[in-house]
Chains A and B, each alone.
Chain A
Amino acid sequence: MVEYKVMKVRVIILPKKGLLDPEGRAVKEMLLDGGFDVKDVKVGKVVELEVGEGTDIKALVERYLVNPLVEEYVIE
C-alpha cells in the first residue's frame, strides 16, 4: 500500500487592519461591560484543512478562502 501523507493546516482569517469590524466592536463592548480591560477585539474565522503533501496552500487560501480586499490571514 502506498503511504499517503497528509498535512494538517490551520488558516486564521481576520478582517483587515483599519477596516470596520462590527462583530469585534460588539464583543469588545460586551467585555468592557463585564469589567475587563480590553483594548481591541477582532472576530474572524478559522479553517482547518487536511491536505495532500505538495498542495499549494497559498494558492488555495488566496484563490478560495480569503477575500484579500477585506481580509488578511495567517497559515499555521
Chain B
Amino acid sequence: MRFAVCVFPGSNCDYDTYYVIRDLLGQEVSFVDHNTKRLDAFDCVVLPGGFSFGDYLRAGVLASKTPLGNAIVEYAQKGGLVLGICNGFQILTELHLLPGALLKNENLTFLCKDVYLRVENNSLPFTRKFEKGEVIKLPIAHGEGRYYVPEEELRSMEERGQIVLRYCDEKGNINSKANPNGSISNIAGVCNKEGNVFGLMPHPERACEDLLGYRDGIILWHSLVA
C-alpha cells in the first residue's frame, strides 16, 4: 500500500507515523505538505497529530482551509481511506468529513496519559483485526478532545455504527470515571457513514512496540494492510 502522511505547519507526529508505516509495516509512505492538491497516487491518507497552524482560532480549522484540506475532501468523497489521529481528527471534523466537534477538555488540563478503549465497531478497514468489544490501551495527549455532537445526531450515529471507540475502564465498562475529557457518550473515535474516514483522539502510532510497553496500536495499522 502507498500511504500519504499529511504535514501541516505545526504537525508533530508526522515522523512517528512515517516510521511506523515504513519500518514496522514495511509499506510505501510519503510526506505531503499543506499545498498538495492531488492525492490520487495513494491508497491511504493519514492526518497525524500535532498543533497544525498553532491551533489558532480553533484546533484544525486553519489546516482545513488549505489546498491539502480540499484534496483530502475530494479523496474521501471518492472512497479513499482517510485516518485522522488527534489533531488529524480535529481537522477531519472541521472539513465536515466527520460529524461533531472537539472542544476543550472538561477539566481544562492538557491530558497526557494511557487510556483504555472499547472497540465498538470492528467492521472498518481500520479496525478489522480487533475483536468487537475488545479493550485496548493507547496513549492520549490533547487539550481539546471533548467530543461533542447534538443528541439527535448521536443516536443516528450509533444506529449506523459510527461510534468506533469509547473510553472505558480496564474491564471495558463505560462510565464517567473512565471518561478523561468529558466527551459525550465516552466517545474517543468515530467514522463517517461510509466507513472510509476514521478519526480518533488516542495515538495508535505511539503504541506499536513492546519496548514502549504497548501492543494494541500496531493492530490498527495491521488492519489497514490486511
Residue numbers in B under 8 Å from A67 (CB-CB): 58, 61, 94, 101
Chain A min CB distance to B90 (Å): 11
Q: Contact at A22–B105, with CB atoms within 8 Å?
A: yes
A17 to chain B, nearest CB (A): 13
Q: Is the CB of A65 within 8 A of B57?
A: yes
Chain B window 135-178, contacts with chain A (Cβ cutoff 8 Å), 1 for yes, 0 for no: 00000000000101110000000000000000000000000000
Closest A residue to B181 by CB, please name it: A22
What sequence of 0s and 1s flags, for each residue 43-78 of chain B, a beta carbon within 8 Å of any chain A beta carbon? 000000000000001100100010000000000000
Please tell me if A20 contacts chain B, counting CB pairs below 8 Å: yes
Q: In the complex, which of the residues B58, B65, B101, B182 contacts A20, with contact meaning CB atoms closer than 8 Å?
A: B182
| Contacting pair B104 A23 (CB below 8 A) | yes
Q: B107 interface residue, CB < 8 Å from A?
A: yes
Tell me whether A70 and B103 are in contact (CB under 8 A).
Answer: yes
- Nearest chain A CB to B153 CB, angstrom units: 9
A69 to B108, CA, bound (A): 20
Which residue in A26, A65, A70 is a CB contact (below 8 Å) of B148?
Answer: A70
**Residue B80 interfacial (CB < 8 Å):** no
- Contact A70 B105, CB 8 Å, known A19-B148, A64-B65: no
- The distance in angstroms between the C-alpha atoms of A22 and B106, with both chains bound, is 6
Whether B94 and A69, one on each chain, are in contact in the complex, defined by CB atoms closer than 8 angstroms, is no
Chain B, interface size category, equals 10 to 19
List of B residues within 8 angstroms of A64 by Cβ? 61, 65
Q: Are B65 and A26 in contact (CB under 8 A)?
A: no
Q: Is the CB of B107 within 8 A of A22?
A: yes
Residues of B within 8 A of A70 (CB): 101, 103, 148
A69 touches B104 (CB 8 A): no
Residue B100 at the chain A interface, CB threshold 8 Å: yes
Q: Which residues of A contact B103 (CB under 8 A)?
A: 19-20, 70
Which of chain B's residues 95-137 have a Cβ closer than 8 Å to chain A? 100-101, 103-108
CA distance A67 to B58 in the complex (A): 9
The residue in chain B whose Cβ has the minimal distance to the Cβ of A69 is B101
User: Quick one: closest B residue to A65, CB to CB?
Assistant: B57
**Complexed CA–CA distance, A64 and B57 (Å):** 9
> Could you say which residues of chain B place their CB within 8 Å of the CB of A20?
103, 106, 146, 182
Taking CB atoms, residues of chain A closer than 8 Å to B104 are 22-23
CB pair A26–B108 under 8 Å, yes or no, is yes
Residues of B within 8 A of A (CB): 57-58, 61, 65, 94, 100-101, 103-108, 146, 148-150, 182
| 19 A-B residue pairings within 8 Å (CB atoms) | A19-B103, A19-B148, A20-B146, A22-B104, A22-B105, A22-B106, A22-B107, A22-B108, A23-B108, A64-B61, A65-B57, A67-B58, A67-B94, A67-B101, A69-B100, A69-B148, A69-B150, A70-B101, A70-B148
Closest 3 CB pairs of A and B: A70-B101, A69-B101, A22-B108
